[in-house]
Amino acid sequence: MTTKTGATEVAGVPEAYANQGDGGRQPERSETAVRHFTIHHDGVTIPVSRGGRGRPLVLCPGLNSTQADLHELIGLLRSDHDVITFDLRGHGFASAADRYSFEAFRSDLAAVMAELERLDLPSAPVLVGYSLGADLALHHACEHPGSVAGLVLIDGANPVPEPFVTDADRAEFLALWEGLAIQHETLRGTERQVLLTAQETLDLNIEIDAVRSGILDLHRKVVGPVSMVMSMSMAGDSGGEHAPRLNRNWRAGVERLVRERPQTATFWLAADHGLVFTHAPEIAQIIRGAQGAAGQAACANPPRRGDRQDADHR
């Protein structure tokens, strides 16, 4: 059962998210009234924020990211969208949980979408997901046909031909995420906190690999316009041992997808997996344009080095 409590509305940036900005743009007062409420389900509390004007849009963060981290993109989208965003369990101001699995996170998004149905939005929302949030969004849209007006999947939901974490990589990735967990310790009690341990992050990435091994079937079944916003160098260009393999695998997954579903609109950014933080204005522009370009054919191949790579639709 899903319940809602603690609804508040303030003029200006709310205290709980005082660090959220809007990309430097000075918003009108009507854009800055943000309403906050919480959803209780499955033993966890999910904080939801709603603000802006225009077409409803739900933004689902990814693993190790919070709605506070996405402040610039949220601020830009609020100028022409009624933006609803939230924190997944164990992230931001959401409560901790006794399990962090793909299905558990999926239930968080489902609880938010169910609450929005109760609120009787004027139209079906556009559903935008980043990284893990993209996978969650695609699964939700397939399970609830007609519930969303369109999908924008940002660097996730990628039918990669090979897993992200191989058996040989596990120890190295675990050490990497142990370092990240130490960084997260400094954010405890803030809107950017992440409560997952390194082992939980590793286990979840392995589970996501398994989910993505069959995600091409979901892409084939999804109804409505789908846009993919993808990074050209998902793992960066550091020249490290794993980066070239991961980048090739990432691009191969999208190439696979557009061969199978050529109506998917694909946009490439010259960025790594942090593109939602480094290229928020370009992504906001793509999301706006995607609403007017539904049904356009997608590019079958990523742009070559030297080609223009900033939000081109090819």
- pLDDT per residue of the chain (314 residues) written in tens, 0 to 9: 333 333 333 222 233 333 333 333 333 434 458 999 999 999 999 999 999 999 999 999 999 999 999 999 999 999 999 999 999 999 999 999 999 999 999 999 999 999 999 998 999 999 999 999 999 999 999 999 999 999 999 999 999 999 999 999 999 999 999 999 999 999 999 999 999 999 999 999 999 999 999 999 999 999 899 999 999 999 998 756 789 999 999 999 999 999 999 999 999 999 999 999 999 999 999 999 986 544 333 333 344 333 333 333 33
Distance CA 56, CA 115 (A): 14
Check residue 2 and give its pLDDT: 37
Amino acid in position 95? S
Check residue 241 and give its pLDDT: 76
Distance CA 188, CA 191 (A): 8
Distance CA 215, CA 291 (A): 24
Check residue 24 and give its pLDDT: 36
Rg (CA), the chain: 18
- In 156-300, DSSP assigns E strands to 226-231, 265-269
Domain that holds residue 122: 3-313
Phi, psi of 222 (to 5 degrees): -60, 140
If one counts the domains in the chain, the total is 1
What are the angstrom distances between the C-alpha of 121 and each of 111, 114, 159, 214? 15, 11, 32, 32
CATH number at residue 189: 3.40.50.1820
Check residue 305 and give its pLDDT: 35
pTM, 2 dp: 0.85
Task: Give Dmax (Cα) for the chain.
Answer: 53
